[in-house]
Amino acid sequence: MPGDLPYNHSMSNDFLSTDPYKGVRDFYPEDMAIQQYIFDTWSKTTESFGYERYDASVLEPASLYKSKGAVNEEIVNDQTYTFTDRGDREVTLRPEMTPTVARMIAKKQKELAFPVRWYSIPNLFRYERPQKGRLREHWQLNCDMFGSDTVAADVEIIALAHQLLLDFGAKPEMFEIRINDRAWMNERFEQEGFTHEQSNAMLYLLDRKAKIDNFDEEAEKIAGKPFDLGLSDPAPDSRLGQVLAGLMQLGINNTKVSLSTVRGFDYYTGVIFEIFDVSGENNRSLLGGGRYDNLTGLFSADPVSGIGFGMGDVTMRDFLETHNLPMKKTKSEHIVMIPTKPDQDNKAQMIAALIRQENAGTVVSIDYNDRQVPKKIEAARKKGASGYIVIDETDGHSIQRFE
Amino acid sequence: MPGDLPYNHSMSNDFLSTDPYKGVRDFYPEDMAIQQYIFDTWSKTTESFGYERYDASVLEPASLYKSKGAVNEEIVNDQTYTFTDRGDREVTLRPEMTPTVARMIAKKQKELAFPVRWYSIPNLFRYERPQKGRLREHWQLNCDMFGSDTVAADVEIIALAHQLLLDFGAKPEMFEIRINDRAWMNERFEQEGFTHEQSNAMLYLLDRKAKIDNFDEEAEKIAGKPFDLGLSDPAPDSRLGQVLAGLMQLGINNTKVSLSTVRGFDYYTGVIFEIFDVSGENNRSLLGGGRYDNLTGLFSADPVSGIGFGMGDVTMRDFLETHNLPMKKTKSEHIVMIPTKPDQDNKAQMIAALIRQENAGTVVSIDYNDRQVPKKIEAARKKGASGYIVIDETDGHSIQRFE
């Protein structure tokens, strides 16, 4: 800015904008506390099931997303952040975590003791028009189990998803677990004599079923004959039947077989599921996932079976707000030290250090402002402190607690 | 890959690479546990001083880094990741956090109750040649206090830095706090009659003092006369003298006035400091920061004083390794359920759910593998579990603990 001119508010062009980049969020402490509460609850529940945390960089080689089947093509073509670095490498800001975790599993396939239970809380990037529940950057809990293709693994991963919501204080009647099985759908399409293209077109149509009103007509176009979706329950000895029975035994009844639960990604091969808020306030799924049995095959010749899900922070927060569920952890003890004069500032720091040392987890902050004691007390109360200590020339300093 | 050909290990060109992008790290669970331990220790200590966590996106408008004085010019010109998005906006992956926090403070300046104590643990990006302690992406603890220019604030922020190292188990004799004062240096240069350019050149030279062997010669070139750096202690009533006395009162003695501690960034205006490992193993600073009294002026007409520091994860981990300090939190109880047949898998899940419910914090995982019980027990022991439960047809299932 021109150094000769006096600062002037109206000359807005001289100043930098305080806005963040379009479609991403600043987390001021009050929002960050909610974000941390969500992350901590995710971690605690997931770890209690024996899942171990991993992470990777947001930067990935662009090639990771270009292989057919690795990721939704629409996302790669229109929605990734891909650029060329100063060394002429093509690099992408990860749009989802599954290709990364498949890469990491493939890299250490020989050393890992399967089944492997892993989770991560990555931030993901998509260039799209920002709208409710959809931003250009969001965080997502990703849980996966690799190396087990048993029914029990399907049951466990869905039970974990269910438990995550309960641990946020949700009641089972607040949400619904919609389940389907890609393998079962494929069998069904084979019985109909569908070609590969017809099957894909039908899956794509089913995915849009809730959004269109001429499903039957469109389905007939694809099938070349009237097509009845059918709503029969899966046979008890089918994979889906066994998974539902297993969940029932664990007391999980808020499930629904949903033939229109398809999930966009091509890589699913077995059970797929999504969890929806039943209040009608939030129409995006809270969580979605499924079984994919050959993702690591993109990297090497040894396929490893996997099942997992992702759960976003934005929809999670919307759910907590809609149902008036807690959004913060219980506050720890917070004492504010109130020096009465600048020459008491250092004494306040000494006493603060002692209190912290003797009371693990207690927060002690100091008000160095040049203002009267009653104003400092009022400020401490407003900040939500649990008490305060006035520091003066006397030796006795005791905690005064707010009611 | 061509669908007609059989899988073949030797056809490596058909497969995606499992390597991460150059200069960034994959965090497998064992590394992630160390990373989480570092982050948790950072958070806990910093919060105990009353600092509140904030965050923002890694994506920032490129303009944020282009204003003179906002950031080191070398970084902007040669080392940022800057690209143009699909909407023709220039965007930068943040190379440091200070411009972001200054932007956020400036945006809510009217609403915030100063002084504000904030911290964050962002990942930062620099395009440079990867080498020991320097990667293209690293994480950094950033602590700042805004709105207080008292000596007590200087003392507090340095005491916090000191406490952080103690809380990792470090002894004060393992590290050294080097302190200087930009304002004091500037006064000194004014007394010498230096121009602004001479002062800057001298600061730049001082910054490189440890790396060159002809300091006196270079200093004379800049000053136009023999230049004696001088090593006199700061006067007791000077700012630096008061800060040192305050630290001493808090029992912090491992300090050293260091005229060659300059810190690259142009924006510092007062006390500056760096912490070094004294073992000689790690020659990069563990932590560095200082007072900058006008950063928010880039955004609006009201300057807010600030003091803060940054501390990186890579150098922190190197320090812990060098001094054999703990690198993990104490492990929580971990029980492995061992079903004896597939039809016991679901029973194992039911019992696991009960144990988790009744023992908050306990990890319970299940071994679904199709192998003999002794092998499962051995696998649980290798995994570091504290005990196991064999699930069979009987009703009595008790925890067997490893020694």
A26 to chain B, minimum CA–CA distance in Å?
Answer: 4
Instruction: Give me chain B's average pLDDT, please.
Output: 89
B231 to chain A, minimum CA–CA distance in Å?
Answer: 27
Task: Report ipTM for this prediction.
Answer: 0.91
Token pair in block for residue B292: 């900058």
Residues 353-382, chain B, touching A (beta carbon < 8 A): 353, 356, 361-366, 368-369, 379, 382
More confident: B210 or A341: A341
CATH 3.30.930.10 fits A29-192+227-322, yes or no: yes
Structure letter (DSSP) for residue B62: G
**pLDDT value at B9 more than 70:** no
Q: What is the rounded average pLDDT of the residues A358-372?
A: 92
> Per-residue confidence at B76, pLDDT binned at 50, 70, 90?
low
Q: Do A300 and B18 touch (CB under 8 A)?
A: yes
Residue type, B113: A
Fold of B334-401: Rossmann fold (3.40.50)
Residue type, A302: D
Q: Determine contact, residues A312/A138, Cβ cutoff 8 Å.
A: yes
In DSSP terms, A214 is beta-bridged to none
Within an 8 Å CB–CB cutoff, is residue A256 touching chain B? no
The pLDDT score that the predictor gives to residue B207 is 84
**pLDDT value at B259 more than 90:** no
**In 10 A of CB B228, how many CB atoms?**
8
**pLDDT value at A12 more than 50:** no
Percent of chain B with pLDDT over 90: 66
Within an 8 Å CB–CB cutoff, is residue A85 touching chain B? yes
Percent of chain A with pLDDT over 90: 66
Residues 100-139, chain A, touching B (beta carbon < 8 A): 103-104, 106-108, 113-115, 117-118, 123, 125, 127, 136-137
Q: Determine contact, residues A95/A124, Cβ cutoff 8 Å.
A: yes
Residue whose token pair is 């991993």 = A54
Q: Do A21 and B57 touch (CB under 8 A)?
A: yes
The pLDDT score that the predictor gives to residue A295 is 82
Q: What is the rounded average pLDDT of the residues B154-181?
A: 97
> Per-residue confidence at B204, pLDDT binned at 50, 70, 90?
confident
Please state the domain extents for chain B: 29-183+254-322, 334-401
- List CB contacts (< 8 A) between A115 and chain B: 368-369
> Per-residue confidence at B58, pLDDT binned at 50, 70, 90?
very high
**pLDDT value at B4 more than 80:** no
**pLDDT value at A91 more than 60:** yes
**pLDDT value at A353 more than 80:** yes
Q: Supply the DSSP string of B72-128, one letter for each residue.
A: -HHIIIII-EEEE-TTS-EEEE-S-SHHHHHHHHHHTTTT--SSEEEEE--EEE--S
Taking alpha carbons only, the member of B271, B307, B303, B315 closest to residue B42 is B315
Q: Name the phi and psi angles at A210, rounded to 5.
A: -65, -20
Cβ neighbours for A273, distance < 8 A, ≥ 6 positions apart: A158, A161, A177, A178, A179, A180, A261, A288, A289, A290, A309
Strands (E), A13-58: 52-53
B373 to chain A, minimum CA–CA distance in Å?
Answer: 16
Fold of B29-183+254-322: BirA Bifunctional Protein; domain 2 (3.30.930)
Q: Is the pTM of this model over 0.90?
A: yes
Token pair in block for residue B102: 């200054």
Taking alpha carbons only, the member of B112, B358, B76, B36 closest to residue A382 is B112
